[in-house]
Structure 1
Amino acid sequence: MTRTRRAAFAAAALIAALGLAALGVWQIERRAWKHELIAAVDARIHAPPVAAPGPDRWNAVTARDDAYRRVTASGIFRHDRETLVQAVTERGAGYWVMTPLETRDFTLLINRGFVPKDRRDAKTRAAGQVAEPVTVTGLLRATEPGGAFLRSNDPAAGRWFSRDVAGIAKARGLGKAAPYFVDADAAPNPGGYPVGGLTVVRFRDHHMVYALTWFALSALSLFFAWRLWRIREA
């Protein structure tokens, strides 16, 4: 290998080392952001509940600033328009029961909780189909449009794989529906179903591992650059 080619390879290795180091720094910054997000979500979950955002605030509701905020709303459930969304939980496979709550000013989709497959039919959990006005407390959740991995929602067939607020509202003919839904808390429902309070709050946090990987690759590239330069000098 000529000295010119060795110099070119050394320069390329040095540039690669700088790029890999930059990726490591980026992962450190991502880790700091993720920890801030986790702290913010934890604070929302444990804060006193506030009124569910009404129509005048819908445009300001975002997943970044409002997801997992404890909210409360009062109204009457429209059980005749409930939607079952396929779910896998710590209790096994079954469905989320998404029921419209008609408040004074708007309609709010409530994820009342989980039911196993043998409780799919509302008649098997009739005691939980509360008719009187209720107050629901839970966590504000961002809509889940489209469906699940490799499985698209099929409104015409009544098959739902994600809690798609706009899709469910359209399929069920809900007027003035909030663009988010609420996961009901663990307050027991009559008859025991649906089972609320099963929200899983978990964030992947592997940024330090990624950062160390990028820094290690950067160090390796820097070593190769140094070796090539030493050979050139020799």
Structure 2
Amino acid sequence: MNWRWVFSALLLLAGAGFIALGNWQLDRLDWKVALIDRVESRVHADAAPAPLPAEWPDIRVDSHEYRHIFLKGTFLQNRDTRVLAVSEEGSGYWVMTPLQTAERGTVLINRGFVGQGTEPATPPSGTVTLRGLLRLSEPKGGFLRENLPAANRWYSRDVAAIGEYHGVKLAPYFVDAAADQPGSPGGDGPIGGLTVIQFSNTHRVYALTWYTLALMAAGAAFFVLKSRRSQP
């Protein structure tokens, strides 16, 4: 078998694979755009009650992340956890405090940001009602440094690990408190409402890249076959 035919067939096969990958990226683009639209609608919707414990197993990124919710409960005193963070206010910490509710379990609240060397305000005592955005627990490892619970050093908002450290059973999510909520007074105390909502959406660029590679593979196959016919 002539090697040119074999090489051309391989190029065309690769081109078909590139087209399939481009189509997959377009499917991902549709999914990402729909996700962004859903998140935008959740963030700006009226606050809804926090999920009940029976709903916890069904909490997912697609259906719950950044949902605008409210809770009523009591902050657990002396249970603050500071998680290293960088925000528009500079470098410092997120202040995470459990909120015990009557029907919706104990939920970890990100009361907001404090700068390096700043002592966060003590959470208020008594029953409070606050609102914020539902966030999923941040996993250990990956791009984030490993938490060191034994040294009380935290680099990700890992709800299960923080709950275990304090001996508290927590809901499998945390809440980014909105600005000016109980426990998030702003100023030198925890500053709430600093959630950054940003999704990487490069699927269109990737799709164009794969389609371009498919055209290049087809062009190369055509060139190889044409060079064979042009030989005497």
TMscore range, shorter length:
over 0.9
Q: For 2:37 and 2:143, how far apart are their aligned partners in 1? A: 28
- Superposed CA deviations along residues 171-230 of structure 1, whole A, max 9, x for unmatched, are 00113x211100001125446310000111100111111111111111011001111112
Query: Relative to 1, partners in 2 of residues 1:153 and 1:53: Cα closer, same or farther, differing over 3 Å?
Result: same
- Alpha-carbon distance, 1:136 to partner: 1.1
Correspondence for 1:139: 133
Correspondence for 2:52: 54
Query: Relative to 1, partners in 2 of residues 1:213 and 1:191: Cα closer, same or farther, differing over 3 Å?
Result: closer
Describe how 1:46-195 pairs up with structure 2 within 5 A: 46-105=44-103, 106-119=105-118, 121-122=119-120, 125-126=121-122, 129-147=123-141, 149=143, 151-175=145-169, 177-187=170-180, 189-190=184-185, 192=187, 193-195=189-191
Q: For 2:99 and 2:144, how far apart are their aligned partners in 1? A: 30
Correspondence for 2:26: 28
What is the one-letter code of the residue matched to 1:107?
Answer: T
Q: Which runs of 5 or more residues in structure 1 are unaligned?
A: none
- Superposed CA deviations along residues 141-179 of structure 1, whole A, max 9, x for unmatched, are 00012156262001110011000000000000113x211
- Alpha-carbon distance, 1:10 to partner: 0.7
Q: For 1:143 and 1:163, how far apart are their aligned partners in 2? A: 6
- Alpha-carbon distance, 1:18 to partner: 0.9
Percent of paired sites with the same residue = 46
Cα contact 1:54–1:178 (8 A) shared by 2: no
- Alpha-carbon distance, 1:82 to partner: 1.0
Q: For 1:190 and 1:211, how far apart are their aligned partners in 2? A: 46
Q: For 1:12 and 1:198, how far apart are their aligned partners in 2? A: 52
- Alpha-carbon distance, 1:231 to partner: 2.2
- Superposed CA deviations along residues 3-27 of structure 1, whole A, max 9, x for unmatched, are 7001111111111111111111111
- Superposed CA deviations along residues 99-118 of structure 1, whole A, max 9, x for unmatched, are 00011132110001000012
TM-score normalised by L of structure 1: 0.92
- Superposed CA deviations along residues 91-144 of structure 1, whole A, max 9, x for unmatched, are 11100000000111321100010000121x34xx35xx3113211100000001
Cα contact 1:148–1:161 (8 A) shared by 2: no
Cα contact 2:8–2:221 (8 A) shared by 1: yes
Cα contact 1:147–1:160 (8 A) shared by 2: no
Q: For 1:214 and 1:222, how far apart are their aligned partners in 2? A: 12
Cα contact 2:144–2:155 (8 A) shared by 1: no
Cα contact 1:147–1:164 (8 A) shared by 2: no
Structure 1 segments, 4+ long, off by >3 Å, are: 188-191
Q: Larger % of helix: which?
A: 1
Cα contact 1:84–1:97 (8 A) shared by 2: yes
- Alpha-carbon distance, 1:233 to partner: 2.9
What is the one-letter code of the residue matched to 1:179?
Answer: P
TM-score normalised by L of structure 2: 0.93
Q: For 2:186 and 2:204, how far apart are their aligned partners in 1? A: 46
Root-mean-square deviation (CA), in Å? 1.5
